[in-house]
Amino acid sequence: MRFDTVIIGGGLAGLTAGITLQEAGRKTVIVSAGQNALHFFSGTFESTEAERERITEFFVRAGIPVHFQDGQRLMPAGTFRPAALSLEDVTLFPQTPVSSKALIVNFSGFHDFFTAFLAEGLEKNGTTCRICTLDLPEMEHLRLSPSEMRSVNIARVMDSCWEKAVADIRVMHKDEDLILLPQVFGLKDASIPGKILAALPARAAFIGTMPPSVPGIRTQMQLKRRYEILGGTFLMGDEVTSAAIHDGVVSSITTRNLDTSRIFGEYFILASGGYFSKGLAATPVQVVEPLFRLDVAFEEDRNGWYRQDFFADQPYMDFGVKTDADLHAVKDGQPLKNLFAVGSILGGTRPDFGSAAGLALRTAFAAADAITTSKPQE
């Protein structure tokens, strides 16, 4: 198999690079192991001040309406955090108090939506809260198994009976000017959250739950669909097993599912993520990039990898694959001419691209741009 560009990793960075290249008429393949950080995406991107327009248009073309707005978002633990780029159904609050009275609605037995924390956070900021629980007969089968009441399972039920939930909430609602709901709506159909907002008797907002994130999974599915509509080849549930490098140029890779047949490419983009996604691997003595054995920037002394405070910024998160200025991955001190490293595999090595989502989007654009503007190699 031969492609213009072979992309390793199907998360936000890999999909962004793939879509951008397909939009430019390139033939690409994405090899994706499965779950990625998008499944925990809270619906809001931080630190994406740069390239606002390009990012917004990118999402809108994929059928994912987003808005750039300065404001605070209400976090699941009841705290407020600044937000910039958000999915359309994520409500941002320009100031506190966000309302005078809020109704917080949960499904009975759903422990992954923290109503008490939300109420406390809001009340501290001047909003009186009331907590109500919904008990729909359609959820009974979930309750039979003690571990089934999780966000995605509820969302599957809600895809077909969200209107009943709305009807019940309308009965519960008294004089509150804000209704808070868990993000368990619109797993398959992205239009449902908007319909719920329109049908409720007061302004409403969807607040995050414990992962997996329903809007995150939906976003991932929409990006993947967009990529495939553009003609991209998405190899789901596959894993790259080896890579061939000759004279500083990557020529091909093999994957577990394709067995011995190789995937050849003119360019390669490594978007395999951080530790969780196995893009980086830590041993007791070093941090390595397991596939290409690229150079990784990390601290030699393991004592320096961590801070004792769990909530402090952890140095190990800043470790990442070394690149040159144009994101060419470095191996044995030399940049590989046709391999770009993008997204969280870079850790904190490229602060110029912002953090997390900003890093994924902007490095993916940069790599795709470099590929589309360069002359084909002969």
Partner 1 sequence: MKRNDYDVIIVGGGITGAGTARDCAMRGLKVLLVERHDIATGATGRNHGLLHSGARYAVTDQESANECIRENMILRRIASHCVDETDGLFITLPEDDLNYQAKFVESCLAAGISAEILDPKEALRMEPSVNPDLIGAVKVPDGSVDPFRLCAANMLDAKLHGAQVLLYTEVTEFIKEGDMVKGIRTFNHQTHQSAEYYAAITVNAAGIWGHHVAEMAGVPIGMYPAKGALLIFAHRVNDVVINRCRKPANADILVPGDTVCVIGTTSTKIPFEECDNVRVTPDEVNLLIEEGAKLAPALASTRILRAYAGVRPLVSADNDPTGRNISRGIVCLDHETRDGVKGFISITGGKLMTYRLMAEMATDLVCRKLHVDKACETATLPLPGSERKSFKEVAEQIWENPTTAQKATAGRLGTGAARIKDTSPLGQSLICECEEVSVGEIDAAIQRLDVSNLVDLRRRTRVGMGTCQGELCGCRAAGLLARAHGCTERARADLKDFMTERWKGMYPIGWGDALREAEYTQWVYKHVLGV
Give residues in contact with partner 1 (CB under 8 A): 37, 40, 42, 46, 75-79, 81, 108-109, 111-112, 114-117, 119-120, 140, 143-144, 146-147, 149, 208, 210-211, 213, 274-276, 278, 281-284, 302-303, 305-306, 308-311, 314, 316-317, 356
Residue 216's Cα: distance from chain center in Å?
Answer: 6
Residue 280: Cβ within 10 Å count = 26
Long-range Cβ contacts of 137-145 (<8 Å, 24+ apart): 138/164, 139/107, 139/109, 143/109
Q: Which two tokens stand for residue 167?
A: 């009807």
Closest to partner 1 by CB, 20 vs 91, is 91
Rounded to a whole number of angstroms, the minimum distance from the CB of residue 121 to partner 1 is 9
Q: Of 162, 161, 138, 160, which is closest to residue 149 (Cα–Cα)?
A: 138
Q: Which runs of consecutive H residues, i.e. helices, occur in the chain?
A: 12-23, 52-61, 115-124, 140-143, 151-172, 192-199, 214-229, 357-373
Q: What residues contact residue 31 under an 8 Å CB cut-off, 6+ apart?
A: 6, 7, 8, 9, 10, 235, 238, 239, 240, 253, 255, 263
Rounded to an integer, what distance in angstroms lies between the CA atom of residue 350 and that of residue 195? Answer: 40
- Closest approach, Cβ 298 to partner 1, in A, equals 11
Write out the two tokens for 73: 């978002």
Give least dist CB 77 to partner 1, A: 5
* Closest to partner 1 by CB, 95 or 147: 147
CB of 348 to partner 1, least distance (A): 13
Structure token pair of residue 120: 């406390």
Structure tokens at 223: 């990006």
What gap in Å lies between CA 340 and CA 5, rounded to an integer?
10
Q: Which is nearer to partner 1, 79 or 261 (CB)?
A: 79
41, amino acid identity: F
Query: 3-class SS at 263?
Result: strand
Closest to partner 1 by CB, 260 vs 308, is 308
Q: Look-up: residue for tokens 């004279």?
A: 247
Q: Please choose, from the candidates 15, 35, 36, 29, the residue with its C-alpha nearest in 3D space to the C-alpha of residue 254.
A: 29
- C-beta separation of 363 from 346 below 8 A: yes
* 8 Å CB contact between 331 and 351: no
User: In whole angstroms, how close is the CB of 181 to partner 1 at the nearest point?
Assistant: 17
- Closest CB to partner 1 among 284 and 376? 284
Q: Closer to partner 1 at the Cβ: 27 or 150?
A: 150
Give 86 or 213: the residue with its C-beta nearer to partner 1.
213
Closer CB to partner 1, 144 or 198, in the complex: 144
C-beta closer to partner 1: residue 109 or 248: 109
